[in-house]
A and B are shown apart, each in its own frame.
Chain A
């Protein structure tokens, strides 16, 4: 693929030619993230979060591999092995805090990445596959993060595992056997801890694999852009390197500065104190709360409080799964031919309501299940489903969109063509 004007790869040295003839890996890299990948010239900073996600995946894999050298997946020893890492292993505290906060930052950048895609209609044809592979990555991330949180075997680890595997028991007949099968016992114990560790080590590499597919499918049509207008000619694009490597580079530095500030100066700000208490199957914590990145889904789960045809718990579990699975259908729910929210006055309003709604759901998920939070979570959850399943299909049908620019370069260059014309000449009108 790629555009006709993409710069071809030309090895500069004898060795480069020799390698290129035998294993064209440098050629592949050049065409994927080098000078050979033309990118729309008008990308805003919303487009920096894909690369940032890759950076945080890498940080998680590197710090995780180092931690696994010291971590001991045993119900009796896991908690103390982590304290050993924190106290006695050289720079162990840094690796551990970098890993724990790295998970949070991975989710922060991925959430921004997803909402950027929602606003600019990045899920629309011809990029449906990019969107769906991204959702697969997100689901894998959730599984990985959940299992990673169980590994320290603190109180929240243990009771979180209890609650989350308990979702399965909401399904009639098959639910309880599935739960026992997943845990390898009736409650989380050694069998569960060992398999969670095994899968927690495996899944990041599966994520890395799906990331490759995600990027591959992205590079077939090329990156989208804030106008949502397709690239038409060379004037619309810039080569990825050096333009976007430079832009991604400095922005990654800025974001890593934030990350370092948290790792070194408030490493426990996003964690729960109860996880510094060793797991105790006999003492249930007062409030069991998942990590912040699961709060909106936790709020949806708990919003269903009435047995109506189905048990409330089953409604909650179905709704929670549905809240993510419905995103797979988004390309066919939002059929507006205009991609970018900038040219969709009605969609734009509902989009920002959705953002506020998800933040509100997150707040409800953090709070204990008491009024008024339960009532608020019910309203917010209702809006979440209404937004995607009812409002979007209708908006895309009835909305009057704004006129699109003729091309990316026209939207970027404004009147500069005229200004730049040599003295005594005016640009030809077109």
Chain B
């Protein structure tokens, strides 16, 4: 009993030795560490009692394939021929469902089309843009002009979902920046459609792709609503005679979508090189002047003997006393 009564005194002794701040801190610290330890133990017990089940996504999802583009690296530039081919794929394949609501027809100048060609492309675009009938004020459509954005074929989201089995075809303007590995992801997705592997079905019978979806290991949950858009070689006839293989078309449209997402990429690289050159030269000059300024300070030593200011003062005093000038 006597021992038990001594415990508070011992604790108080510790607190006094440590100080109040540290004592409270230790209590708080022990509290957090304790709760974390309980969390850890509960989690570990739970983990070993019921290990999380493997999922089809976890095992069969694939990282995008490698895709080399002319825009890669600090000196990368757009390949206008490829962008024009990619645009052709967009026009003939993707535009049926997907808009580019951040890109105007007139932006095609950057791909090397001249003014008349841009006008013609806008004028002949298969999808008209929403407008108002000037006589009646009713909703109408009109032919596109160069300042219009690439339109969606659907009047609104409801119409788009109704036409696509309740899936919404996303706008493609920023697709190359809105997914990890952007262009490589688009390229892989377009060429990644395949039959569901037998192994997957054997391991995860519940993960069978529903009839309205399509198996694609590059898509996050493996089942994508978009039917394979590029299905056969020669689906598009390229104006520049490049053989239109499935692989080539997928590559070209990925490059095109990188341009729609980052139209300033080329000028960014160009100004980046100039800025880096400037900064590197400025840094080297700065470093040299730093070395110059510090040269003396680094070697500066305490004056001793005759040079010690104290001895100097003594000498001056003595000289003055003796009446010697200087």
Give the B-binding residues of A (Cβ under 8 A): 41, 80, 83, 86-87, 93-94, 97, 235, 238, 242-243, 246-247, 249-250, 253-254, 256-257, 260-261, 263-265, 267-268, 273-274, 276-277, 286, 303-306, 308, 312, 315, 319, 322, 326, 329, 332-333, 335, 370-371, 374-375, 378-379, 381-382, 385-386, 388-390, 393, 397, 409, 413, 416-417, 419-422, 425, 427-428
Distance of A348 Cα from B260 Cα, bound (Å): 52
1/0 per residue B216-256: CB within 8 Å of A?
00001000000000000000000000000000000000000
* A260-B304 in contact given A250-B289, A306-B39 (Cβ < 8 Å): no
Q: Which of B32, B174, B264, B289 contacts A246 (CB 8 A)?
A: B289
Could you tell me the distance in whole angstroms from the C-beta of B107 to the nearest C-beta in chain A? 8
Contact across chains for A420 and B283 when beta carbons are under 8 A apart: no
**Top 6 A-B pairs, shortest CB-CB distance:** A264-B272, A389-B29, A250-B286, A253-B283, A276-B178, A393-B22
Contact across chains for A246 and B293 when beta carbons are under 8 A apart: yes
Contact partners of B287 in chain A: CB under 8 A: 250, 253-254
Q: Which of A41, A319, A375 contacts B32 (CB 8 A)?
A: A319
Contact partners of A308 in chain B: CB under 8 A: 35, 38-39
Nearest opposing residue in chain A for B180, CB measure? A273
Contact across chains for B297 and A257 when beta carbons are under 8 A apart: no
Contact across chains for A268 and B177 when beta carbons are under 8 A apart: yes
B74 beta carbon closer than 8 Å to chain A: yes
Contact partners of A274 in chain B: CB under 8 A: 178
B198 beta carbon closer than 8 Å to chain A: no
Distance of A272 Cα from B47 Cα, bound (Å): 30
Contact across chains for A420 and B29 when beta carbons are under 8 A apart: no
Contact across chains for B43 and A371 when beta carbons are under 8 A apart: yes
- A sample of 6 more A-B contacts (CB under 8 A), given A261-B276, A305-B43, A389-B26, is A253-B286, A253-B287, A333-B25, A374-B43, A382-B32, A417-B304
Contact across chains for B306 and A265 when beta carbons are under 8 A apart: no
Distance of A347 Cα from B19 Cα, bound (Å): 20
Contact partners of B294 in chain A: CB under 8 A: 243, 246-247
Distance of A357 Cα from B301 Cα, bound (Å): 42
Give the A-binding residues of B (Cβ under 8 A): 18-19, 21-22, 25-26, 28-30, 32-33, 35-40, 42-44, 47, 52, 74, 102, 173-174, 177-180, 182, 220, 261, 263-264, 268-269, 271-273, 275-276, 279-280, 282-283, 286-287, 289-290, 293-294, 297, 299, 301-302, 304-307
Nearest opposing residue in chain B for A250, CB measure? B286
Contact partners of A381 in chain B: CB under 8 A: 32, 36
Contact partners of A335 in chain B: CB under 8 A: 19, 22
Contact across chains for B293 and A322 when beta carbons are under 8 A apart: no
Distance of A22 Cα from B102 Cα, bound (Å): 56
Contact across chains for B264 and A86 when beta carbons are under 8 A apart: yes
* A385-B32 in contact given A235-B302, A390-B26, A417-B304 (Cβ < 8 Å): yes
Q: Which of B18, B19, B261, B280 contacts A257 (CB 8 A)?
A: B280
Q: Which of A86, A305, A388, A417 contacts B39 (CB 8 A)?
A: A305
* A420-B304 in contact given A260-B279, A304-B35, A385-B33 (Cβ < 8 Å): yes
Contact partners of A268 in chain B: CB under 8 A: 177
Could you tell me the distance in whole angstroms from the C-beta of B45 to the nearest C-beta in chain A? 11
